[in-house]
Structure 1
Amino acid sequence: MTSTVWLSLVSATLVISLTPGAGAVNTMSNSLTVGWRRSIWGIIGQQLALLVHVIIVAAGVGVLVTSSPPLLTGIRYAGAAYLAYLGIRLIVTKTKATTDDGATTISNSTGSAFGMLRRGLWVNLLNPKAIVFFLAFIPQFIRPDEPLLPQYALLTVTVVCVDVLVMWGFFASAAKPFRRYVSTPRGQRVLNIVFGSLFLAVAVLLLFIH
């Protein structure tokens, strides 16, 4: 991969990562509830999903998925249902006192490292648009006449690094000014409703926009 192609890849990935979606909502929600530093666990989960998507496309499974409307529809419904579940769960979550660093205490392991990692994984994994997107995106930066493994490795590292920087450096950081609102039960409640509603909105978009 030439430097020009790589810079094009970085630019394209940056634009894509900055586009608001379920991953951004999940990252900002985590940053508000558990703090900026610990929100990295949800971001790691989202990156694991990206790795799976790249592998799916590289293995040719993506073509099978996109060529099977019932399978793609099933994944789309599952993704929308999961996002709706996250939204409703956040809305009905009982607010609790904040910790010394201002992070909100969440019950049912929602704020645990494993819980955030798992949630981030499923948020990105159950997004059929990601498979379709990578199917159209990856071939533009892969030359079949050159060794494939180094190209896929560089592409994967680039996509993951850029997305981590955007999610943690932009979206998670963007939530910091609102941290003062989680210091009161009322503020926590309002933010839970806001982000729960955002999850529901993304679920509706995923379900009805083809």
Structure 2
Amino acid sequence: MHISNWLLFCSVSLLVTFSPGPAVLLAISNSIAVGPRRAMISSMGNGTGLFIISGIAMAGMGVVLATSATAFMLLKLAGALYLVYLGIKQWRSKTSIVANAPQQPGAANPNSNGKLYRQGMMVALTNPKAILFFSALFPQFMVQGQPVAMQFTVLTTTFVACAMAAHLFYALLARLLKSQLANPARARLFNRISGGAFVLLGLSLLRLRAKAA
């Protein structure tokens, strides 16, 4: 993978991981319950789950890569459209990432690091959209003719690192700015900025697919 493609993937991964989702909500919830430092234990578990889900998605893409260039192009086109869909959905959302985070004392057991780790891993493994998401994102940056395993390792490790950075950011921010994050106007602005970025990304990838065709 060329360094320019990797830097672009880093930018996309940061955009994706900083957009609110189940793992971000868990990081916020655990930060409020047990503190930002121990909340990162669940983020480590989430990273493990992402590696498993990514491996499943990549196994399917490896078959497509090896068998049909046309099918791979269609997969990339579907992935670009899926990113546009995610952007529209995020734009229309009116919910606050803090308001939706479960804050009951039982959300995380402060005496069990193992439970925090398993909790994060299960959030990744039980997300029904995870395989679809990886199947949509990764083909945009994969190169036919290069080892799939190496590309899988680089892409997944980069994505997990970005995810953990995002979780740490939200965990710290939740402790410092809980009331501000819950403000509906700020929540709506954040959702529209991140949603618009998703749409622009998807449209730009569609243009790349059209030129490649």
Could you tell me the TM-score, scaled by structure 1's length? 0.61
* Equivalent in the alignment of 2:13: 13
Structure 2: where are the runs of 5+ without partners?
A: 64-99, 180-213
* Equivalent in the alignment of 1:174: 173
* More helix by percentage: 2
Letter in 2 for 1:18: F
1:41-52 → structure 2 map (5 Å cutoff)? 41-52=41-52
Distance 1:41 1:108, change over 3 A: closer
Letter in 1 for 2:142: I
Cα-Cα RMSD: 2.9
1:121-200 → structure 2 map (5 Å cutoff)? 121-168=121-168, 170-177=169-176
1:32-111 → structure 2 map (5 Å cutoff)? 32-60=32-60, 91=104, 93=105, 109=109
Separation in 2, partners of 1:108, 1:52: 23
Structure 1: where are the runs of 5+ without partners?
A: 64-86, 94-105, 182-210
Shift of 1:90: 5.6
Separation in 1, partners of 2:128, 2:166: 21
Shift of 1:61: 8.5
Q: Once superposed, which parts of structure 1, at least 4 consecutive aligned residues long, lie more than 2 Å away?
A: 106-111
Letter in 2 for 1:173: L
Contact persistence 1:62–1:132 (CA under 8 A): no
Contact persistence 2:17–2:166 (CA under 8 A): yes
Letter in 2 for 1:40: M
**What is the identity percentage for the equivalent residue pairs of Structure 1 and Structure 2?**
32
Letter in 2 for 1:171: Y
How many residues align? The count is: 144
Separation in 2, partners of 1:41, 1:55: 22
Could you tell me the TM-score, scaled by structure 2's length? 0.60
Contact persistence 1:57–1:134 (CA under 8 A): yes
Letter in 1 for 2:165: L
Distance 1:107 1:22, change over 3 A: closer
Listed one character per residue, the Cα deviations across residues 45-84 of structure 1 (whole Å, up to 9, x for unaligned) are 1111110111001111899xxxxxxxxxxxxxxxxxxxxx
Letter in 2 for 1:177: L
